[in-house]
A = this chain, B = another copy of it.
């Protein structure tokens, strides 16, 4: 057998690059669609709001961002009618964040759209291999050994 450039792959991409490329596929899919004025980042934040509602500080922890940044997204999502903010009866400092029906609808729509993207991926590489990919991704992302 003859190897040409055997140890210098034509495709010298790194793991990081490939993770980024796959991530961008989703961003592009969502970015090219109409989401009621919401960008992918809005959808991400909104998806973390639990049905029972939560505070901005707690939401920030869940999403993994600062409360300042989180507050900005919440303000924008209130403006677009996807979230509502009420005072917390138990603590005057807290502003309780909840999804509106429009927010619920967009959140469901997002989940369905992502599932559709994943079905496309599974079709590309095979259901069995994609399931392994997905489980490993889940374990690695959450640091579960």
Contacts and interface: CB of A to CB of B under 8 A. Distances in A.
Interface of A: 11-23, 25-27, 40, 44, 47, 110-111, 114, 117-118, 121, 124-125, 129-130, 132-145
21 contacts: A13-B138, A13-B142, A14-B44, A14-B47, A14-B110, A15-B118, A15-B137, A16-B26, A16-B27, A16-B40, A17-B44, A19-B26, A19-B141, A21-B142, A22-B140, A22-B141, A23-B23, A124-B139, A125-B136, A132-B136, A133-B137
B142 A12 contact: no
Interface of chain A, helix or strand or loop or mixed?
helix
A16 B142 contact: no
Contacts of A133: 132-133, 136-137, 140
Q: How often does this chain occur in the complex, in copies?
A: 2
B117 A139 contact: no
A49 to B, nearest CB: 11
Nearest to A123: B145
Contacts of A21: 141-142
A12 B15 CA distance: 25
A29 to B, nearest CB: 10
Contact of A129 (B27, B125, B132): B132
